[in-house]
Chain A
Amino acid sequence: MRILGIETSCDETAVAIVEDGRRVRSNVIASQTVHAHTGGIVPEVAAREHLRVLDGIAQQSLADAGLTLADIDAVAATVGPGLVGCLLVGANYGRGLAFASGRPFIGVNHLEGHVYANWLAETALGEALPPEPELPAVVLVVSGAHSDLVLMEAHRRFRLLGRTQDDAAGEAFDKVGRLLGLGFPGGPAIELAARAGNPKAYALPRAALADRYDFSFSGLKTATLRLVRELEAKGPLPVNDVAASFQLAVTEALAEKTARAAAEHSVRTVLLGGGVAANLALRAAIERRIGHPLLVPPPRLCTDNGAMIAAAAFYVLRHPGTAIPVTVTSGLKLA
């Protein structure tokens, strides 16, 4: 079964075609650059940009796969969580495409997409797919908008263990990136700067709440701001050391809770998803604690993309009775 997946929840316009929830046939992602100069995403600007490019991206996705619309069995689009104005563009385009071509339309939870990115493989046609991740699994979804720690008991069965109480992890990276003059988005820039810095240079508070699986990044953010102001008063800002210390505080908190959840629920697999999952320091910190390698999608499948939406849609179709309402919902939750 070939599913065309559409993702427009934030600032990537993305369309992909995936076979049987696993094999990526094409994966076109247009990252909006209009937000670079505002240092953040302006929802109205993002929605305009999605509408302007979406049809072209969909055509590109079909062309990349060497397929036509007649080869597509179903159309899926993200219906939440995300920016409503942006979600509406992808969802209505997708619904129209499905309706007019006589195919089913599947609304997909964006967070579930990040989870199912772990089932994707960019394997060439004719080559065998890698084995599927084994369940149950603990999944950490960390991005600019989310920090959710979830127990995945079976396909389409998620139990929330913890989530951020304030900012998302990626949001904290963005804010500190801006504070350090590293630009937007902050995640990759901080990771790069941190490589040349000493993570033990400054002691910053951990971004975790004791006892529970929840996270909190606001205290860490304030502490980093205070540290930067103090250091600036003394002389040139040791950007790399601050970046490394901040990154350590974030990744240690995420890794510690993820590893503890994995042990408590004796899961077979630990999965990562979301843009922050591309952070190598985070991966290393989790692997060190769980004692075996992590499953992490390749970077292009960690950040927002249409392939993960098509993959999640496949498992929605395979598990009858678990359909997601097609109404666009900004605050849709994973569990």
Chain B
Amino acid sequence: MLLALDTSTDWASVALYDGREVLAEATWHAQRRHADELFPTIERLLGTAHTTISEVDRVAVATGPGSFTGLRIAIAAAQGIARGAGAALVGVSTLDVLAYPHASSKRRTCPLLPAGRDLHYAAIYQERNRRWARRSPFLVGSLDELCRSIGDHTLFVGEIDGAAEVTLTTLLGAKAHFAPPSARLRRAGTLAELGWRELERTDQVKLGEIEPIYVRQPLGQGSFDQPFAPPPRDDAALGLPRRS
């Protein structure tokens, strides 16, 4: 049984997955109450699925980019749970989770998440040679800056408020497509599926190696206002968790 946790933004999501189906899932607007609502929600879902935490032998956690504090809540909780249950732990990028349900659309997909102060986190996903994958580094910037590197017909998903939708339409015109509100949401069921697959494919990383994808430099080190993450050369530069 896999437990998936995501508190990357004001939206939080938790799911239970058995490798074949999503057994229970909750997605809610937690605002700043993640820390208080996460564990009661996990307990409720375990009850709904008529199972117990002792059945959980895999944990998947969303590693961002997103709210720094939010990311750390789920990752710390996931590390504790994995350690306590003796479960394997895997981290999956929050943007990967957002884009994945749209893979079958075969459209260039750009998930967006608020990064504060009119900035957004983004990445570009596209099918190429029948392989759906992230085709850009994790980016942070204003919609204006992000659109300059997008240009083409793109499906936008994620947390896009009214103002952002207007801005994108203004910048890209008919090239901007929007998934319907319910299909824009991030669901831990998707995270569970991606995490399960990752654990089938690779050895688990050490618990402490699951780290948030911060994208921006930490405050007090380098420039916080760095508008755009430089193009990465490798996975480490992408902020992906290191593999042992």
Contacts and interface: CB of A to CB of B under 8 A. Distances in A.
Contact of A44 (B68, B81, B82): B68
A259 interface: no
A101 B207 CA distance: 16
B208 A47 contact: no
A115 interface: no
A92 B76 contact: yes
A270 interface: no
A230 to B, nearest CB: 33
Interface string A44-87: 11011001111110100000000001000000000000001100
Contacts of B69: 47, 84-85, 88
Given A38-B220, A55-B208, A85 B68 contact: yes
A16 interface: no
A42 B219 contact: yes
B218 A101 contact: no
B44 interface: no
A100 B3 CA distance: 11
Interface residues of B, number: 35
Contacts, number: 109
A293 interface: no
Q: Is the interface of A mostly helix, strand, loop or mixed?
A: helix
A218 B81 CA distance: 45
Contact of A95 (B80, B82, B211, B220): B80
Given A47-B72, A52-B208, A96 B77 contact: yes
B36 A327 contact: yes
Contacts of B219: 42, 44-45
Interface of B: 35-36, 38-39, 42-43, 53-54, 56, 68-69, 72-85, 87, 207-208, 211-212, 214, 218-221
Interface of A: 38, 42, 44-45, 47-48, 51-56, 58, 69, 84-85, 88-102, 326-328
21 contacts: A48-B72, A48-B218, A51-B75, A51-B212, A54-B76, A55-B83, A55-B207, A56-B208, A69-B83, A88-B35, A88-B69, A88-B73, A92-B38, A93-B77, A96-B84, A97-B84, A99-B81, A99-B84, A100-B81, A100-B85, A327-B35
